Chains A and B, each alone.
Chain A
């Protein structure tokens, strides 16, 4: 097997919504190597889920190609299905089924023998901490328990590639943290390649080694979270002065550091975005001291992925939240 897990080129999907053509994904290119943990990040309706649905054979591309785990999603969907795990936005387990029954059924669906499915189910029940609820009917499980059951089902055939579509949507912060822990643990234990979609910045930031930002159905940025931030957003430096006239006096000195970055005044405070702001701030303070402008306080904020998105598109990722993916997602 080659080291490439996903190679998508020119992936495009149209939908007809009320006789109008909507291009949910347009000419998307994506390469994922074996063992990577990649987050597809974008606002609601950006085309993340549509992309994932094409890569998992749930949706046929209008045009373009995608090789997933070495096989073409359009011409060899069954070969792709055998090699991937998928955890969708909904709950995979049937509500009238018992949790352990569903795990075994899932194993049978992937061609495991009854004995092998049972053994693997028992193993995953332990790994995901489902022992207490394994014999219960799925409809009686909590949201967090159901999500862990979904993960167990996605892993039943030990796939080399796992897709997770908005895995933490609808979970409370505690369950979200718990889920992130399981995802990280899985990676350490098995080295499974993972591709997840999310519109939670923190999740992409904490979990993924690589973030692919998608907007209007195409990739607009693709790098590690740290590299994205240093390339597309500076540190936000906020200075506080005792008097408004001090702030005005400081403007010229700050300007020599800020270059073309805009300097925002707010009463007796000033905000400016500086590349390498954490390193520059001590120098800036000394320069202000030399200029005899007393500084009352300073704060340096590291950029977030939202700042990156803002600088790339002029919009905030958080706009429209909490929204739905709508009909095209």
Chain B
């Protein structure tokens, strides 16, 4: 496989995946319903004292990450459906590079992530949410990297589930919520028991969320930001490696 075909193949897969989103931008909203509900019904319940500052400032970055996590982790269901209908088979018979089939799909996750982040911020600002623009942009870069990794993992899960749709959703839902709670996205873990705080340290999402809060608050150069970037890169590299391996195996 030469480098240039990999790049153009990835481009071909990426633009195919993106096209329905561009044709029907409203579809981006679907995976945002739950995060927006949390923003509307959960954020007002959070007392400032619990988070040690403005509850809104603390919670909006959580919602950004949550929306990215919900969208990217569910994206494998599209592949699952294409495995069932025969679309994926047709891609496998084409000379497209196998890694490009996963990488192109995963890269597409960046686009709805950006759109969703924009919507959330626009909704939150009238309620008093303040952000540092440079920090927010860097935050989105980290989220983009993170969503590529989560997307790749979701596609891997789809390949592993094959014709068992229930398996995909069971695993996705079972993993999603513990990861989310252990990252201190809904409530700070600082007040929790020692075992929970330890578990939280092993969760890459913890670092991503902490970095978002720091960046949106204007803290650009810090260990927290570096930690978030490192965690996002780790998830992306691991996700793409596992996904590429899975599609190579499934392909023959």
Residues of A within 8 A of B (CB): 56-60, 77-78, 81-82, 84, 86, 88-98, 101-102, 105-106, 108-111, 153
Contacts and interface: CB of A to CB of B under 8 A. Distances in A.
Given A94-B85, A101-B19, 19 more contacts: A58-B92, A59-B252, A60-B252, A81-B93, A81-B95, A82-B95, A88-B90, A90-B85, A92-B90, A95-B81, A95-B87, A96-B78, A97-B20, A105-B15, A106-B90, A108-B12, A108-B16, A109-B13, A153-B90
A91 B85 CA distance: 6
Nearest to A102: B16
A56 B84 CA distance: 19
A89 B87 CA distance: 10
Contacts of A57: 93, 252
A65 to B, nearest CB: 15
B41 to A, nearest CB: 31
B94 A110 contact: yes
A185 B19 CA distance: 32
Nearest to A154: B90
Given A60-B252, A81-B93, A92 B86 contact: yes
B91 interface: yes
Nearest to A107: B12
Contacts of A94: 16, 20, 82, 85, 87
B48 interface: no
A249 to B, nearest CB: 61
Interface string B210-242: 000000000000000000000000000000000
Interface string B74-104: 0000100110111101111111100000000
Contact of A98 (B12, B23, B89): B23
Contacts of A98: 19, 23
Of B9, B12, B82, B84, most A-chain CB atoms within 10 Å: B12
Contacts of B78: 96
Interface in B187-208: none
Contacts, number: 81
B93 A84 contact: yes
Interface in B107-139: none
Given A57-B252, A89-B86, A96-B20, A108 B15 contact: yes
Contact of A78 (B12, B85, B95): B95
A57 to B, nearest CB: 7
19 contacts: A57-B93, A58-B93, A60-B252, A77-B252, A86-B93, A88-B86, A90-B89, A91-B85, A92-B87, A94-B85, A94-B87, A95-B87, A96-B24, A97-B16, A98-B19, A102-B16, A109-B13, A110-B95, A153-B90
Nearest to B90: A92
Q: What secondary structure prevails in chain B residues at the interface with A? A: helix
Contact of B12 (A81, A92, A105): A105
A254 to B, nearest CB: 53
Interface string B5-33: 10011011101100110011000000000
Of A56, A89, A90, A91, most B-chain CB atoms within 10 Å: A90
Of B5, B19, B82, B93, most A-chain CB atoms within 10 Å: B93
A58 B87 CA distance: 13
A141 to B, nearest CB: 13
Contacts of B81: 95
Contacts of A84: 93
Interface of B: 5, 8-9, 11-13, 15-16, 19-20, 23-24, 78, 81-82, 84-87, 89-96, 251-252
B247 to A, nearest CB: 13
Contacts of A102: 16
A92 to B, nearest CB: 4
Contacts of A90: 84-87, 89
Contacts of B252: 57-60, 77
Nearest to B252: A60
B6 to A, nearest CB: 12
Of B13, B81, B92, most A-chain CB atoms within 10 Å: B92
Of A78, A92, A97, most B-chain CB atoms within 10 Å: A92
Given A78-B95, A109-B96, A97 B19 contact: yes
A239 B89 CA distance: 53
Top 4 A-B pairs ranked by shortest CB distance?
A: A90-B86, A92-B90, A108-B12, A105-B16
A94 to B, nearest CB: 5
Contacts of A88: 86, 89-90, 93
Contacts of B20: 94, 96-97
Nearest to B9: A109
A147 B226 CA distance: 52
B95 A111 contact: yes
Nearest to B78: A96
Nearest to B13: A109
Contacts of A91: 85-87
A91 B87 CA distance: 6
A82 B94 CA distance: 7
Contacts of A108: 11-12, 15-16
B48 to A, nearest CB: 43
A109 B64 CA distance: 34
Given A77-B252, A98-B23, A109 B94 contact: yes
Contact of A56 (B82, B91, B93): B93
